[in-house]
Amino acid sequence: MRLSFYKYQGTGNDFVIIDNRLQTFPKNDAKLVAKLCNRKFGIGADGLILLENDSSSDFKMVYYNLDGNTSTMCGNGGRCLVAFANFLGIIEGKTSFNAIDGLHHATIDNGIVSLQMVDVLEVKTKPNSAFLDTGSPHHVQLVENLKDFKVQKEGAKLRYGLYGKKGSNINFVEQLDDSKFSVRTYERGVEDETLSCGTGVTAVAIAMHKVGKTNSEKVTIEAVGGKLEVTFNSNGNYSNVFLIGPAEQVFKGEIEC
């Protein structure tokens, strides 16, 4: 089978994206997905996304981790898929689409995608950490000297040791100023550090507000792959949550599989 694909990235979080509106992709072939995402033997990506038709919105997002398994919501992947839909002419500037965690609204302007995330109704806090679900589960932990922190080693310990087989994404955070934080993320499914994680960035912004490290409802997050902004309304719960940042097409091609 000759497969046409597009490669997109959002602050260094990269994805193979396929237009599957004609339902030609073998969706249950986890080995194929893993091969396409493999950086040595395939295209190379943190995950694979299918764009599909949807009866109640502009399109549907189907997301796979690089291990070949379907997964929970991916924020940067969602932003990249909005850019792809805009490129295809399915949308013009604004959209609503369905993902595994429900309906999302988004806009795109000059390559900047603003994606509405799910409301967050609960944030579990401990003295130096928090746990919350922003479409995917996230552990958020404050650390010092983040630049030299052993993210892969310590992330794996928490991902498996604290959260078991199901696991959680693990975010290590350092505060830069009143409304700016730096983050490095260990992603389950990737089982390594990624340059950026959209649901993780969202979780960090909300967690830092919840524990009183910032009073701002507009937070800047510096991931390894670039800067993102998170805005929200807080009144006990967190609503009207938006993840904002660039998404761009890197290249397109065909591959025999």
Cα–Cα dist 80/56, whole Å = 21
Catalytic annotation, pick one of 37, 80, 197, 257: 197
Check whether 246 has a pLDDT greater than 90.
yes
Residues in the chain: 257
Closest C-alpha to 152, from 129, 127, 172: 172
Distance CA 133, CA 101 (A): 11
Model confidence at 165: pLDDT above 90:
no
List pLDDT tens digits, range 84-131.
999 999 999 999 999 999 999 999 999 999 999 999 999 999 988 999
Percent of the chain with pLDDT over 70: 100
What are the beta bridge partners of residue 234? 238
Residue 81 dihedral angles phi and psi, to the nearest 5°: -70, -35
Label residue 166 by pLDDT band (50, 70, 90): confident
Instruction: Indicate if 37 belongs to the active site.
Output: no
Say what percent of the chain tops pLDDT 90: 96
Q: Which of 37, 74, 80, 257 does the annotation list as catalytic?
A: 74
Known active-site residue 80: no
Residue 206, H or E segment? helix 198-210
Q: Could you give the domains of the chain?
A: 2-116+246-256 (3.10.310.10), 124-244 (3.10.310.10)
Q: How is residue 117 annotated by DSSP?
A: P
